[in-house]
Structure 1
Amino acid sequence: MSLTQHWQEVGELAAGQHLSIPVYRFGDAASDGLHVYIQANVHGAEVQGNAVIFQLMKRFESMDINGSITLVPLANPLGINQKSGEFTLGRFDPITGVNWNREYVAPDFDMSTWFAAHAHLDDAELFAAFRQELITGCKRQLDNDWGVSTGTRLAAELQQMAHQADIVLDLHTGPKSAKHLYCPEYDLAAACYFSIPHTLVMPNEFAGAMDESAFYPWWQLSDIAAQHGRQIEVPVSAFTLELGNQERIDLIDAEIDAEGILAYLSHRHVIDDHVKPRKMRRNACALQDYKKLYAPMAGMVEYVAPLGKPIRAGQGLVNILRLDLYGTEQEIVEIKAPEDCVPVLHFASASVHLGTEMYKVMTNVFELSCDE
């Protein structure tokens, strides 16, 4: 399969240097097949997605692609290069403080009015017109007479590429994390293909993340059409894959996650190769049941609960060590799980302030039924 590459400019440094990212494409963007967009490393420390993209590219070289696959590793050069000593800080725009993955935008036009004006189109024509409207909306973001922030510019450039796709995969990691998948409720069956044991089921809401920016407009369009008596299947699938810990490259583990992505692409007939999903138990919970545990006091933290393993209400999550309170009942304070849960990720540092988000846990967990 032929491979093309170009460089996409996403910003400039104060001294005038252009910031560009490599964009790779397998297949034919003009073909009738499905088009896939995969990006990684929007957060500077979350590098494992680059290894997964590398392993995918090695596999795609010998595969027939029905449609096209666009791959964007190293998607945020500013975040990647935001270092302090041995640590990479690039989760937030250092100028505005905004999370790099909350800069994407929802449609800037009234979708109900738009649908009414285009309801005479058949599905293919409707989808093509809607897709172009979404891309044009990103361009309008960049054409603002008052200018745009660094993060908005980066997001608009990436979002334009994502809006051209039928399948969007955004590769991330947690600080210290079990693998988990953000999956829209309408597409929950897709979670059975990825090599990921935990799934967070997302509602039809928008909070500025890449996956939401890709699926939310189409889900809204489907709902609006239904209100007018027209049934439209949501034509775009979008997921965020959380691939373990940040500040880590593991090429062997990347092969496992690449295999899961290939199983999904095989299921969607993007590739001709038949790739079976990994046999594993897959648990899920609604996004509203994904709970955060905040530190009730500052101190040095021992993270006790293993990630990805169920624990019961009353079992210990963390021990907080307070040497300034040595000799008192608060020299070590145990924080217990308020209810049955599956810990998914925890704060990277053992040093926490009052109110630090220490754990994220799944509650009201259920097992996905995966036949294949």
Structure 2
Amino acid sequence: MSNWTRNTKKIGELATGHELTIPVYRFAGTDSNAPRVYIQANVHGAEVQGNAVIFQLMKQLEKLELQGDITLVPLANPLGINQKSGEFTLGRFDPITGVNWNREYQDLTPSLSDWFEAHKHLPTEQFIAAYRQSLLNSCHQQLDSPWGVTTGRRLALSLQLMAHEADIVLDLHTGPKSCKHLYCPEYTRDAAGLFSIPCVLMMPNEFGGAMDEAAFYPWWQLTDYVVSRGMTMTPAVEAYTLELGSQERIDMQDAADDCEGILAFLANRGVIKADIEPKAMARYSCALADYRKFHSPMGGLVEYLAAPGTPLSAGEPLVRILRPDRFGESEQQQTLCLPEDSIPVLHFASASVYQGTELYKVMTKYTRLS
């Protein structure tokens, strides 16, 4: 049986002065040399399924033998979760600034030439520990700025502090109407076959403000710099975004399946002692640059014809757009197709769209992994 604790972490204050807090669960491992893990869910308000996955994970972790420490944070963004309008949850963007909650994380990579010269004499373990501490120090410096930080930035940096303590970071999300898909750094391609996820987007060494990038990008940058100096190094941290289906839904059985996939990954990485094989399934991947958006060429009412996760040949129907204002004209109903083979991954949640609305995101130039 694993030992665990529950604490709360303050991430801000409301206008009334009431504290905003989030729950933090910690499961203790037995081996200080095993990888440490950080898992969070529900940074976007409507993306609730990750909380069910964390719940299923904690039920299993209680019974497993843990080698590495695991920190789990469900309900990571109480402001987003509580941002409702009627029956809908709107919490994708900070309502104060309009910024996407998952684009507030910071690139804390130091000046690598200066940092490397000051620390290159250290043994590998101390070298890695010193770099990790520099990232944590930068987080604290931003949080303690005499100019203050925005509400969204404070939340992001508070979460980022916990993530930078870990060797493995998993950020659990969902799409609007979506199949499961994984954002995976190119240097950890082997992980694509461990999770119970059929579609994989391979990420380059670039930073765009998301949690996974904030976690892996500084280490990938450091690795490339060290290698450029004629030395050998592999990134000490790996981070992934797991998109676990569609938003505004809880499915406990599906959460149990995703839990099993995460446990297979953690067993492979030596975090838990367990014999868990990855789920057999067809898996496909493409480069992030080949993950394309299809925008509506007109306004109207949309029937989504392509099922997320199902390969689609060029010329097959993608959507049908109805224009009741054009009854009796050739434009009253139109079927749109994609110009090349693709795998639809997600589509817009609403059936009524403006011209220019992002209808689908699709994988192009994809390859079969398994």
> Normalised by the shorter chain, which TM-score bucket?
over 0.9
The match for 1:222 is 223
Alignment RMSD, CA only? 1.0
Indicate whether 1:208 and 2:209 are aligned.
yes
2:9 counterpart SS class: strand
Whether the aligned pair in 1 keeps the contact of 2:314 and 2:338 (CA below 8 Å) is yes
Deviation at 1:29, TM superposition (A): 9.1
In 1, Cα distance between the equivalents of 2:123 and 2:331?
67
Counterpart amino acid of residue 264 in structure 2: A
Aligned ranges 1:249-260 → 2 under 5 Å: 249-260=250-261
Indicate whether 1:244 and 2:240 are aligned.
no
Q: Give CA deviations for 1:123-154 in whole Å, capped at 9, x if unaligned.
A: 11110000000011111111122111110000
2:69 counterpart SS class: strand
Whether the aligned pair in 1 keeps the contact of 2:31 and 2:67 (CA below 8 Å) is no
The match for 2:341 is 340
Whether the aligned pair in 1 keeps the contact of 2:175 and 2:243 (CA below 8 Å) is yes
Whether the aligned pair in 2 keeps the contact of 1:173 and 1:243 (CA below 8 Å) is yes
Counterpart amino acid of residue 178 in structure 1: C
Whether the aligned pair in 2 keeps the contact of 1:83 and 1:90 (CA below 8 Å) is yes
In 2, Cα distance between the equivalents of 1:314 and 1:66?
51
Deviation at 1:113, TM superposition (A): 1.6
Counterpart amino acid of residue 178 in structure 2: S
The match for 1:176 is 177
Whether the aligned pair in 2 keeps the contact of 1:282 and 1:368 (CA below 8 Å) is yes
Whether the aligned pair in 2 keeps the contact of 1:294 and 1:358 (CA below 8 Å) is yes
The match for 2:68 is 67
In 1, Cα distance between the equivalents of 2:12 and 2:340?
46
Deviation at 1:117, TM superposition (A): 1.5
Whether the aligned pair in 2 keeps the contact of 1:29 and 1:35 (CA below 8 Å) is no
Counterpart amino acid of residue 138 in structure 2: G
In 2, Cα distance between the equivalents of 1:112 and 1:283?
38
Whether the aligned pair in 1 keeps the contact of 2:180 and 2:245 (CA below 8 Å) is yes
Counterpart amino acid of residue 188 in structure 1: R
Aligned ranges 1:289-328 → 2 under 5 Å: 289-328=290-329
1:67 counterpart SS class: coil
Deviation at 1:78, TM superposition (A): 0.1
Deviation at 1:203, TM superposition (A): 0.2
Deviation at 1:112, TM superposition (A): 2.3
Q: Give CA deviations for 1:78-132 in whole Å, capped at 9, x if unaligned.
A: 0000000000000000010000000000015312221121111121111000000
Deviation at 1:31, TM superposition (A): 2.2
Gaps of 5+ in 2: none
Q: Tell me the percent identity.
A: 61
Tell me the TM-score normalized by structure 1: 0.98
The match for 1:52 is 53
In 1, Cα distance between the equivalents of 2:209 and 2:117?
26
Whether the aligned pair in 1 keeps the contact of 2:30 and 2:66 (CA below 8 Å) is no
Counterpart amino acid of residue 213 in structure 2: E
The match for 1:21 is 22
Deviation at 1:186, TM superposition (A): 0.3
Indicate whether 1:87 and 2:88 are aligned.
yes
The match for 1:282 is 283
Deviation at 1:32, TM superposition (A): 2.4
In 2, Cα distance between the equivalents of 1:221 and 1:52?
32
* Count of aligned pairs: 369
The match for 1:186 is 187
In 2, Cα distance between the equivalents of 1:108 and 1:35?
21
Whether the aligned pair in 2 keeps the contact of 1:292 and 1:359 (CA below 8 Å) is yes
Q: Which runs of 4+ in 1 moved over 2 A?
A: 28-32
Counterpart amino acid of residue 347 in structure 1: F
The match for 2:234 is 233
1:145 counterpart SS class: coil
Deviation at 1:3, TM superposition (A): 0.8
1:330 counterpart SS class: helix
The match for 1:198 is 199
Counterpart amino acid of residue 312 in structure 1: S
In 2, Cα distance between the equivalents of 1:300 and 1:236?
45
Whether the aligned pair in 2 keeps the contact of 1:92 and 1:98 (CA below 8 Å) is yes
Deviation at 1:214, TM superposition (A): 0.5
Aligned ranges 1:75-114 → 2 under 5 Å: 75-107=76-108, 109-114=110-115
Counterpart amino acid of residue 359 in structure 1: Y
Q: Decide which moves more: 96-105 or 318-327.
A: 318-327
